[in-house]
Structure 1
């Protein structure tokens, strides 16, 4: 596996990972309607802006992008760690997170925060995050997602 900085030409592959993870990994905790609305809001072009303005890494296996992670240095927020459903539980998400955490430490960030989907709470707890608040995230006029705010001192 290779972890590398994302480049603009990765945007379609990142979108595919994100879409797959929502539809197939998050289905354990959210309804089909919630998943359809959530995944339907994803736009390939939005990843280009994140690649240019935030810290984003991709994970490759056999030259195929199978995961990505994103850090917002401005506020110390882990905005994404997603792995395609066919490559779960192989340590890919953990390695992506550790890369982001290393960058955050190097930049002087002392605490990381994130908003976790319900299915990922256990994953983030294993990485040392502590749940702070349960909340809802409105993704459409008639659709909300339950999620958990979490933080970790680094």
Structure 2
């Protein structure tokens, strides 16, 4: 049974592991080794993860008391992150996390949810009725990453 709850600071080791492993194993087909290395280095900045948990709507998905995914919402209607453990993909965790994030934005009075998504996750978001606003390059630690700005009317 999937349980969704708000993240706590104690979840950071699980969250950063999922973040790193997801990028390494799932996104590797769409990004270079150097891009993967730079992107996964974001797992090491614990202060940023603490800030996200304390200042965002940040939720985790659990299966048998093990964190298997997470998502977070910033600025009220910016879907800032969605990651599911590589061994738990295509089991409904991502969709459940997404629906709760969407519900939270709607409850706060927003009619549109926005996100920047990777090449890898674009098909998942499109399958959930997100529309591409534009394709763009995003600079992260000196490297350009191809991403998509998407939105969904709630």
TM-score by length of 2: 0.95
Tell whether 2:140 aligns with 1:114. Answer: no
SS in 2 for 1:151: strand
The one of 33, 36, 60 aligned to 1:58 = 60
Give 4+ residue runs of structure 1 displaced > 4 Å after superposition: none
Q: Which residue of 2 aligns with 1:98?
A: 99
- Report the Cα offset of residue 106 of structure 1: 0.9
Give the root-mean-square deviation of aligned CA atoms: 1.0
Q: Which residue of 1 aligns with 2:148?
A: 148
SS in 2 for 1:89: coil
SS in 1 for 2:121: helix
Q: Which residue of 2 aligns with 1:49?
A: 51
Deviation per residue, 1:54-91 (Å, 9 max, x gap) = 1010001111111000001x251100010011111111
Name structure 1 gaps, 5 residues minimum.
none
Instruction: State the alpha-carbon separation in 1 of the partners of residues 103 and 26 from structure 2.
Output: 26
Number of residue-to-residue matches in the alignment: 152
- Report the Cα offset of residue 129 of structure 1: 0.4
Q: Is the 8 A contact 2:76 2:108 kept in 1?
A: no
